[in-house]
Amino acid sequence: MLVSFGKHLGQHRCPRARRGQFVIIAALMIAIMIVSIAVVMYSTVSYYRYESWEEYMGLIDNVMAGSKQVLLSLLANYTVNVYEKGVADKSIVNDMLLKWSIDLYKAFPSYGLNVSFYERSQLVNINVYGISYNRLVNGFIKCYWYHPEGLSSVCAEARIDALRFGLYGYNTSALYYLYARIDTTYISANPSSVQNINVTVVRENGPATDLNWSNFEVLRFDPNIGDWRTVDLIPKNTEEMMASPGVYTLEFLESVTAPYYKWLIVTVRDNRGIYVKLSTYNFIQFEVQRATPTSQMTTSADEIYTLECGIGGHWYWNGKELSVIGDVAVMPPFPPIPIKQFRVNVTETGSSGPFVTSPCQYEIWDGVNWHGKIIEVPRGLADPWAKFNASSRIVFQVKFPQLSIQRQKVRIYWLDDLDAPPYQGPSDLTYDSNTFTANTNRYRVEFIGVGHTKSPTYPYDYYGVAALVMINPTNGLCFGPWNLHAFGIYSGSLGEWRPYGQWQIKYWYQNTNKRAVVRLIAILNSTQVQNIYNPSTGPRNNYYDTYAVVFITANVKYLQLNVHIYWKQAQTDYGLWFASIMGKGEPKYYAFLNYTTGSVAGPYEYNYINRQHREYRYPGYWAAHWNEEFGRGVIFNEASVQSLRSINPSRTRFSVTEAASSGANQGSIEFEAINCGGSEYTTYTGLSYSYSLTMWMYSGGDYAEVNNYYYMFLESYAPKIVVGG
Amino acid sequence: MRVIETILASLVIMVALSFVNNTLIPPYSPRYEATELEKLGYNVLHNLEARGILTRYVYDSDIARGQALLRSALMVSLTPDIYFNLTIYRLDEFGQLHLEGQPIIHGEPEAFQNPSQVSTVTYILASPGDYYDPRILVLQLVRR
């Protein structure tokens, strides 16, 4: 080409031009040579980098293999703590990873190794044997338990710098998990008994094929002991158990009969020490049937029950255990899982209506031996991580907003996310510890007692006497305190000796910043009484002990009070009150239900001109006082009316007092077990009684609302639980 | 003619450099290069760990038995002309190193004194199960 090019040009170009061609060729050749030398020099200079690649790959492999093991240890540690101790402590994650980073640095001091771990979100997608399971893993460790399929997983991103190799920002992520699934199809076949179940176990690298019978634990509910017990498995090795890779058949030594095979708890622990806990079911369902006489009611818009659900088919309302329609034995037992996992759905338009979320909370109740009598009282809100047991109660609300609705359905289900907090949905229930005030959307209550002896809304100091001041939250109206109990007269002033002490408020879950959303519990456990009119002698302990529990409930117009009284010494005085509810001169009218006739007595108008203490015979289930803006009714249940009448039925009274001790108007409503207007009464050591009262807060005008809703609180009209429907 | 000479000279230089680059074995530089023994050490330990053997033996509840088994595993994994001295350290909570058991030695003592090649590999091992208790393995390899 060059030759022909030259020949062709040679006919037209001069020799000078011919020399120019060589110059160009020379320049090109020199340029090529320079480039070649540059390449050679570069490869010479950077030679060591390629050589050291293999060295630092060895180091990185070591770091990654160790990090994998640390992450697996983290997951195993977390799951074993949850399984064995019910403790989910994620603080170990950062502690252990930090230790690991420091130890790596120490192990390779000359490499300038810096390894850090970061949270990473990743979707776990399991598709084997027709299973399609997707869950998001984040926050290093994520566990989904207590459903028929579950997962324990750990996910992290590691960033590695090795200064010696000039390596910065080496980035890699890791995900390890244990997934398990119970095949629950046997339940729908409805056999009379079950001898085995199938469990599929999968790890991040495929089906787990190295397990044997000792890696599984099965629990069943035993109605004879009322608790869960282990089902003995027939010892088998991997080959004998595994039908196909990762699918294990667990053979029971004794078959599990119907219906108990529907409710099994299966725990899988793989050989890395990672646990997954599964349940063959994930909800419990029943119905609540109202029993109020709808034909005698004008409305039920505020007929809302705050129910407590305990273990073993026990439900409670207003201190009474509810009767159950149907066979409790067919009712699924509560699984032994952290109580915070539970949630409640209810219908609001009848049992065939759609479910809506009901606020719920978890309480601990104890049978306390109090002066030789066992009384059921709440200890407070539960430890969210405590397993549901005989002391636990789930509290939720069921509404019957229309008279035509007779049943509502309730579904108690549980979440599979172990990070789920206690239910913390929207709630109007708040507590301000600075003002000792609990608020709901319906009323406000100020706790008076030791530590807060005087309410800004009521002009009298209570000197440590425990009482409740109810306030209308919308207009701030306050009629005055609710006194829990009283005895005697001091210089013509009624109710001299009243319970003295400090309220214990139960609003926060133990060891958390999570709050009660359904109701606040206040407890008064007092051994002293105080002369409210003359505190100079100080509180006395030679009268009676008081154990009182108040429930301040959101979304309803009522608050409930349970009082237990025990007399330690005989005392003689005038009058014994179960309740005295002050009026501060605000209410204009009052009325009460006559126990004998069953009809309403009143309404009467307070006479603030000729002010007296007026007593009426035969107090019944309720009494109310009101004005045009605000009203309060006190409702007794049947047992409490009997308790009121238990000391001397001929001396029980409903009464009002129109003047306060200072001379101001009062306008109270009172229930007297022994009327103060009669002769002296002497108590005796060992005299004890209990009563449950409900305060109904409403907008006044008349007593119709109290008369309409008081049935809710009577034992005869308590709702019933329908199971197995 | 000078131009042609220049071109030829350049070609000769280029060919020479290419030849040198492709055929010359660079001198040994331990500062930058991992020796074959070092690579071998990493590979052996990494393979043993990947198979679960290393963790099982190092964390054997019977330390002497575990170390005896580990010695055997290393002997099988390495060629006969390579001797080794493996020391296992336990890290306490304060980051202090403590010797775990006894050094695992295979080979004649004089081989470690006058080796033809020697290399040391450090390897860190995380504990199995649900607790954190790492070990640092220092593996010295010598070729007879």
For residue A297, is pLDDT > 80? yes
Give the residue with greater pLDDT, A529 vs B107.
A529
Total domains in the fold of chain B? 1
Question: Domain for residue B4, yes or no?
Answer: no
Beta bridge partners of A482: A468, A581
Segment A99-119, tens digit of pLDDT: 999 998 888 888 888 899 999
- Please tell me which residue of chain B has the smallest CA distance to A269: B129
For residue A4, is pLDDT > 50? no
For strands A167-182 and A193-203, give the pairing: antiparallel
User: With an 8 Å Cβ cutoff, are A80 and B123 in contact?
Assistant: no
- The answer to ipTM > 0.90 is no
Most confident of A36-45, B12-21, B56-65: B56-65
* pLDDT (0 to 100) of residue A8: 45
User: With an 8 Å Cβ cutoff, are B130 and A80 in contact?
Assistant: yes
3-state secondary structure of A316: strand
Give the residue with greater pLDDT, A510 vs A628.
A628
For residue A326, is pLDDT > 50? yes
Lowest-pLDDT range, A125-129, A259-263, A276-280, A521-525? A125-129
Nearest to A22 among B4, B29, B128 (CB): B4
A639 burial class (0-12, 13-18, 19+ CB within 10 angstroms)? Answer: middle
Q: In sequence order, what are the residues at sequence separation of 6 or more whose Cβ sits closer than 8 angstroms to the Cβ of residue A597?
A: A618
Segment A51-100, tens digit of pLDDT: 556 667 888 888 999 999 999 999 999 999 999 888 888 888 988 999 99
Listed residue (A428, A445, A474, A432) closest to A581, CA to CA: A445
Mean pLDDT of chain A: 90
Partner B contacted by A27 (CB < 8 A): no
* pLDDT (0 to 100) of residue A6: 39
Chain B hits for A273, Cβ within 8 Å: 128-130
* pLDDT (0 to 100) of residue A5: 40
Average pLDDT estimate for A623-639: 94
Chain B hits for A33, Cβ within 8 Å: 10, 13-14
Partner B contacted by A160 (CB < 8 A): no
List chain A domain ranges. Answer: 52-281, 283-424
Chain length of chain B: 144
Question: Domain for residue B88, yes or no?
Answer: yes
Partner B contacted by A43 (CB < 8 A): yes
Average pLDDT estimate for A486-505: 94
Token pair, residue A587, equals: 């209410």
User: With an 8 Å Cβ cutoff, are A22 and B132 in contact?
Assistant: no
For residue A10, is pLDDT > 70? no
User: With an 8 Å Cβ cutoff, are A36 and B18 in contact?
Assistant: yes
* Max Cα-Cα span within chain B: 85
- The string of DSSP codes covering A475-499 is T--EEEEEE--EEEEETTEEEEEEE
- Please tell me which residue of chain B has the smallest CA distance to A70: B126
Scanning A373-412 for CB atoms below 8 A from B yields: none
Tell me which of B87, B130, B139 to substitute to probe the interface with A (most A C-beta atoms closer than 10 Å): B130
Query: Which whole-number Å values give the CA distances from B78 to A350, A565, A606, B100, in the listed order?
Result: 77, 85, 105, 23
User: With an 8 Å Cβ cutoff, are A47 and B130 in contact?
Assistant: no
For residue A2, is pLDDT > 50? no
- Quote the radius of gyration of chain A (alpha carbons, Å): 38
* pLDDT (0 to 100) of residue A20: 65
Split at pLDDT 50, 70, 90, the class of B2 is confident
- Work out the minimum CA distance from A69 to partner chain B, whole angstroms: 6
Split at pLDDT 50, 70, 90, the class of A7 is very low
Split at pLDDT 50, 70, 90, the class of A397 is very high
Average pLDDT estimate for A524-546: 93
A169 burial class (0-12, 13-18, 19+ CB within 10 angstroms)? Answer: exposed
- Work out the minimum CA distance from B98 to partner chain A, whole angstroms: 13
Give the residue with greater pLDDT, A694 vs A47.
A694
* pLDDT (0 to 100) of residue B117: 79
Helices marked H in chain B: 2-23, 36-50, 53-58, 63-77, 109-113
Chain A hits for B17, Cβ within 8 Å: 36-37, 40
Segment A568-591, tens digit of pLDDT: 999 999 999 999 999 989 999 999
For residue A329, is pLDDT > 90? no
User: With an 8 Å Cβ cutoff, are B130 and A77 in contact?
Assistant: yes
Nearest to A73 among B121, B123, B130 (CB): B130
Main-chain phi, psi angles of B42, to 5 degrees: -60, -45
**Alpha carbon distance A700, A706 (integer Å):** 10
- Please tell me which residue of chain A has the smallest CA distance to B37: A55
Lowest-pLDDT range, A342-346, B52-56, B140-144? B140-144
Chain A hits for B19, Cβ within 8 Å: none
Split at pLDDT 50, 70, 90, the class of A219 is very high
Nearest to B3 among A26, A96, A104 (CB): A26
Chain B hits for A59, Cβ within 8 Å: 42
Range of the domain at B53: 35-143
User: With an 8 Å Cβ cutoff, are B123 and A62 in contact?
Assistant: yes
Chain B hits for A45, Cβ within 8 Å: none
Lowest-pLDDT range, A4-8, A528-532, B20-24? A4-8
* pLDDT (0 to 100) of residue A133: 93
- Please tell me which residue of chain B has the smallest CA distance to A24: B3
* pLDDT (0 to 100) of residue A353: 94
Chain length of chain A: 725
Strands (E), A258-414: 264-269, 275-279, 283-289, 304-310, 314-317, 320-321, 324-325, 342-347, 355-358, 360-370, 373-381, 392-399, 407-414
For residue A725, is pLDDT > 60? no
**What one-letter code names the amino acid at A354?**
P
* pLDDT (0 to 100) of residue A180: 96
- Please tell me which residue of chain B has the smallest CA distance to A79: B130
Partner B contacted by A108 (CB < 8 A): yes
Partner B contacted by A103 (CB < 8 A): yes
A709-721: string of b/e by CB count within 10 Å (b at 16+)?
bbbbbbbeebbbb
Report yes or no: A465 and A490 within 8 Å, Cβ to Cβ.
no
Chain B hits for A166, Cβ within 8 Å: none
- Work out the minimum CA distance from A102 to partner chain B, whole angstroms: 8
- Work out the minimum CA distance from B141 to partner chain A, whole angstroms: 15
Segment A227-255, tens digit of pLDDT: 899 999 999 999 999 989 999 999 999 99
* pLDDT (0 to 100) of residue A571: 95
Listed residue (A175, A180, A174, A185) closest to A128, CA to CA: A180
Query: Which whole-number Å values give the CA distances from B129 to A60, A80, A252, A492, in the listed order?
Result: 23, 10, 28, 76
CATH no. for residue B41?
3.30.1140
Lowest-pLDDT range, A54-58, A653-657, B52-56, B86-90? A54-58
Segment A186-215, tens digit of pLDDT: 999 999 999 999 999 999 999 999 999 999
For strands B97-99 and B117-125, give the pairing: unpaired
Nearest to B6 among A26, A69, A96 (CB): A26
User: With an 8 Å Cβ cutoff, are A51 and B125 in contact?
Assistant: no
Report yes or no: A120 and A143 within 8 Å, Cβ to Cβ.
no
For residue B4, is pLDDT > 70? yes
Tell me which of A37, A49, A55 to substitute to probe the interface with B (most B C-beta atoms closer than 10 Å): A55
Report yes or no: A276 and A179 within 8 Å, Cβ to Cβ.
yes
Q: How many CB pairs under 8 A join A and B?
A: 117
Question: Domain for residue B115, yes or no?
Answer: yes
**What one-letter code names the amino acid at A36?**
S
- Please tell me which residue of chain A has the smallest CA distance to B32: A48
- The three-point CA angle A530-A534-A538 to 5° equals 45
For residue B121, is pLDDT > 80? yes
Within 13 A of A104's CA, how many CA atoms are on the CB side? 29
- Please tell me which residue of chain B has the smallest CA distance to A78: B130
- Please tell me which residue of chain A has the smallest CA distance to B44: A58
Question: Domain for residue B10, yes or no?
Answer: no
Main-chain phi, psi angles of A690, to 5 degrees: -135, 155
User: With an 8 Å Cβ cutoff, are A62 and B46 in contact?
Assistant: yes
Average pLDDT estimate for A523-532: 95
For residue A671, is pLDDT > 60? yes
For residue B28, is pLDDT > 70? no
**Alpha carbon distance A6, A19 (integer Å):** 11
Average pLDDT estimate for A615-625: 95
Average pLDDT estimate for A274-282: 96
- Work out the minimum CA distance from A76 to partner chain B, whole angstroms: 5
- Work out the minimum CA distance from B127 to partner chain A, whole angstroms: 7
Most confident of A330-334, A438-442, A628-632, A644-648: A644-648
Partner B contacted by A684 (CB < 8 A): no
Calculate what percentage of chain A has a pLDDT beyond 70. 96
Nearest to B134 among A26, A40, A103 (CB): A103
Partner B contacted by A33 (CB < 8 A): yes
Nearest to A51 among B32, B50, B125 (CB): B32
* pLDDT (0 to 100) of residue A147: 96
Report yes or no: A203 and A268 within 8 Å, Cβ to Cβ.
no
User: With an 8 Å Cβ cutoff, are B122 and A33 in contact?
Assistant: no
Nearest to A37 among B17, B123, B128 (CB): B17
* pLDDT (0 to 100) of residue A307: 96
Calculate what percentage of chain A has a pLDDT beyond 90. 70
Split at pLDDT 50, 70, 90, the class of B143 is confident
